[in-house]
Amino acid sequence: MDTLAGSRGRRSAWRPRAAILGSLTLPGEPQQVSRARGFVARTLASAGLPGVDSDAATLLTSELVTNAIVHTDSGKPGRTVTVVVLGLPGGALVEVLDDGSASTPVVKGDPFAGEGQGLFLVQQMAAQWGYLRGQGGTTVWFHLAAASCEFAERPGGQVPAAATMAAQIAASSSSLVT
């Protein structure tokens, strides 16, 4: 019988956990964006996460990797971008780690602008997204809820519990990969 320290012989119930499915570090060059897309598609396919929209994940990854190359120090010669894919109970989390910049990620307000709509897409398609800044750079992440997941149908795509979990996982896993 499994017991936790300080417990009085109670069994701990099995709960699904997050798992790092894969990570890939790429040179910060525009031609590497397609490699990042392929990595995410292959990783999600091999993980077999039911209900996770692989096409949405590859599109949003493409946008975040492009942003990292164009708008951060990762686009400088010799710098890199890292993509991490995590399987979560009821979905997937994708992180893009860059080498940092002076600015923070901003969603452009004009949906009809010809460019600069990457984060707008992320905001509209992901259940949750966010970023974490540290001395080593910035991690921008998005969470895609599985279609069969109970909170995937919430108005506005809000996933209150997943937001907290995704932020905690993003913070802990980014320190593992850097």
The domains found in the chain, sorted by start residue, are 25-177 (3.30.565.10)
Distance, in Å, from the CA atom of 5 to the CA atom of 18, rounded to the nearest integer, reads: 22
Residue 34's φ and ψ, nearest 5 degrees, are: -65, -35
Q: What is the pLDDT of residues 20-51, one digit of tens each?
A: 999 999 999 999 999 999 999 999 999 988 89
Mean pLDDT of the chain: 81
User: Does residue 59 surpass a pLDDT of 90?
Assistant: yes
DSSP state of 12: P
User: Is the pLDDT reported for residue 157 higher than 90?
Assistant: no
- Statement: residue 106 has pLDDT above 90: no
Indicate if the pLDDT at residue 80 is higher than 80.
yes
In percent, how much of the chain has pLDDT > 90?
Answer: 57
Whether 146 and 52 have beta carbons less than 8 Å apart is answered as: yes
Backbone angles phi, psi at 123, to 5 degrees: -60, -40
Q: How confident is the model at residue 167 (pLDDT cuts 50, 70, 90)?
A: very low
Rounded Cα–Cα distance for residues 78 and 37 (Å): 21
| pLDDT band at residue 107 using 50, 70 and 90 as cut-offs | confident
Q: What is the CB neighbour count within 10 angstroms for residue 18?
A: 18
d(CA 114, CA 20): 35
Rounded distance between C-alpha atoms, residue 28 and residue 9, angstroms: 52
- Cβ neighbours of residue 53 under 8 Å, at least 6 residues apart? 144, 147
Question: Does 15 have pLDDT greater than 90?
Answer: no
Q: How many H-runs (helices) and E-runs (strands) does the chain carry?
A: 4, 5
Alpha carbon separation from 107 to 114, 129, 144, 164, 168 (Å, rounded): 14, 11, 18, 21, 22
Q: Is 34 left (phi over 0), alpha (psi -120 to 50) or beta?
A: alpha
